[in-house]
Structure 1
Amino acid sequence: MNRPNHIHFTASGSETAQAAFAELVALYGQVPIGAADVIVALGGDGFMLQTLHAGAGLPVYGMNRGSVGFMMNDYVAEDLPARLAAAEEAEINPLAMRAQTADGAIHEALAINEVSLLRVGPQAAKLRISVNGRVRLEELVCDGAIVSTPAGSTAYNYSVHGPILPIGSDVLALTGIASFRPRRWQGAILPSSALVRFDVLEADKRPVMADADSRSVKPVLWVEVRSEPGVAHRILFDPGHGLEERLMREQFA
């Protein structure tokens, strides 16, 4: 990007992030978000997702003041404007979730990483899965299921043995969580244009919640998930440390 002259800093509530915020504002000043060229987010991956969801259409450069920091750059206070000018930009299209709860209300949310369905009671969930209006799995007995973007494929999806998807690929990962029946179902890789629908079977007996990047609704009767190409989140990374390289490293760790 061009050398930024107006930086807006934002930080999570942790002591480490707040200390970094104070240091950087003292060094570079603070510009209101409406007058900024770029947002610098200080925290962990969860805070990065919050910052991206907040919108404003600005590129976001994260510096890790949290734990994992997969979406963050290393924290270095010196020469920040030069780092921002040299940064590589990646655009991520989120998922759009639409869900109906038991009271009849319709809920909508966007998710940069994944939309997950999770059982909320002691019994396994039963889900019917349809893709583009055609039933593909009559009944999945499980703890839940995930639809993941390439950017989110190394997060919750990977922890339940879902595939890592290359950045820029026009696909989504559909992964079961502790799938019990069909026992050998390994999930699916779907085109990004797919509309995935989950219908909750025996919803009263086996309640299920839906979660889009930590925004939860429950109990749900059905959930639809699709990619949202009309929204693009802009993320900045130091040269040679972008999402594509990070995903590659995850596969050889």
Structure 2
Amino acid sequence: MNGARRALLASPTPQAQAAAVDLRERYEWVPIAEAETVIALGGDGFMLQTLHAQLDRRTPVVPVFGMNLGTVGFLMNEWRSSGLEARLAATRPFKVTPLRMTATTVSGETHVIPAINEVSFLRETRQTAKLEVTLNERVVLPELACDGILVATPAGSTAYNLSAQGPILPLASSLLALTPISPFRPRRWRGAIVPDSARISIRVLDAAKRPVSAVADQREVREVAKVEIAIDRARDLTLLFDPEHALDDRITMEQFIA
């Protein structure tokens, strides 16, 4: 990565903007369309925005090296302004394969949106959501009464999925987590781990009375009738990490945090 054409992106927060000024004075940068590597300054939310912007452009994606100037920064490296070229030369790349959410609304509109962390379903009103869950064309849950449900990738398994008591998935596991949010019935169902080759379909039962929204990372589609979820292997993304801050090790160690 040393000497590669780099683009610099920063979140609008004062800390990230100040860091961007510092880096622009120290190093040479090119427009995003000419970049071979992207440096992203911010938190995990800004990293997701940066990755989604690459997917939206439908051009060849380039590796992203994030530096944390946000809150959690699980997908980011430590912020340091010095030694950037040496750090980039030593980075470890990690492939992240997004999900593809195809959501059909009650009115018949179709939205296709990628998700890097998770696709989540959330009730829109005080009424409990009732969902039918299908796995590879087989109905596995005829009626799940809950506040919602989510499908998480390994990269996203330590985010919303973990907060909902879902399992942590190793980065190279080729698995997806299917995790309910405040399930009421079936009372004993606490989720499932499925191969990432699985085709997952979720249909909203009584959508008029019990409206549900579907959220792909940060993008919401309201009043959905049905959503289909599958891995999109044609759009792999690459994240770069310092060797001592590698993503696979961080995900593993999350299992031992009390």
Counterpart of 1:151 (choices 145, 148, 155) is 155
Aligned to 1:6: 5
Find the aligned partners of 1:215 and 1:74 in 2 and give their Cα distance: 27
Counterpart of 2:223 (choices 212, 219, 223) is 219
Aligned to 2:171: 167
Give the CA deviation at 1:5: 3.3
Find the aligned partners of 1:157 and 1:4 in 2 and give their Cα distance: 38
Runs of 4+ in 1 over 4 A off after TM superposition: none
TM-score, normalised to structure 1, is 0.98
Find the aligned partners of 1:114 and 1:44 in 2 and give their Cα distance: 17
SS of residue paired to 1:181: coil
Deviation digits for residues 171-193 of structure 1 (CA, Å, limit 9, x no counterpart): 10000000010111010101111
SS of residue paired to 1:245: helix
SS of residue paired to 1:230: helix
Aligned to 1:198: 202
Q: Would you say 1:127 and 2:126 are equivalent positions? A: no
Tell me if the contact between 1:38 and 1:59 (Cα under 8 Å) persists in the aligned partners.
yes
Equivalent position amino acid for 2:256 in 1: F
Equivalent position amino acid for 2:37 in 1: V
SS of residue paired to 1:29: coil
Counterpart of 1:104 (choices 99, 104, 108) is 108
SS of residue paired to 1:240: helix
Extract unaligned runs of 5+ from structure 2: 55-59
Question: Any residues of structure 2 matched to 1:9-24 within 5 Å, and which?
Answer: 9-24=8-23
Counterpart of 1:64 (choices 64, 68, 71) is 68
Equivalent position amino acid for 2:39 in 1: V
Deviation digits for residues 77-117 of structure 1 (CA, Å, limit 9, x no counterpart): 00101101100000110000001111110111000000000
- Percent sequence identity is 52
Aligned to 1:35: 34
Aligned to 1:52: 51
Deviation digits for residues 219-241 of structure 1 (CA, Å, limit 9, x no counterpart): 00011111111110110000032
When the two chains are superposed, the root-mean-square deviation of aligned CA atoms in Å is 0.9
SS of residue paired to 1:84: helix
Deviation digits for residues 127-157 of structure 1 (CA, Å, limit 9, x no counterpart): 0000011100010000000000000000000
Give the CA deviation at 1:37: 2.0
Give the CA deviation at 1:43: 0.4
Aligned to 2:57: none
Deviation digits for residues 20-66 of structure 1 (CA, Å, limit 9, x no counterpart): 01110111032112222210000000100111111151100000010
Find the aligned partners of 1:133 and 1:9 in 2 and give their Cα distance: 44
Aligned to 1:142: 146
Equivalenced residue count is 252
Q: Would you say 1:251 and 2:250 are equivalent positions? A: no
Equivalent position amino acid for 2:117 in 1: N
Find the aligned partners of 2:3 and 2:164 in 1 and give their Cα distance: 40
Extract unaligned runs of 5+ from structure 1: none
Find the aligned partners of 2:183 and 2:96 in 1 and give their Cα distance: 29
Find the aligned partners of 2:3 and 2:185 in 1 and give their Cα distance: 53
Equivalent position amino acid for 1:119 in 2: R
Find the aligned partners of 1:149 and 1:133 in 2 and give their Cα distance: 21
SS of residue paired to 1:103: coil
SS of residue paired to 1:130: strand
Tell me if the contact between 1:4 and 1:37 (Cα under 8 Å) persists in the aligned partners.
no
Equivalent position amino acid for 2:29 in 1: Q
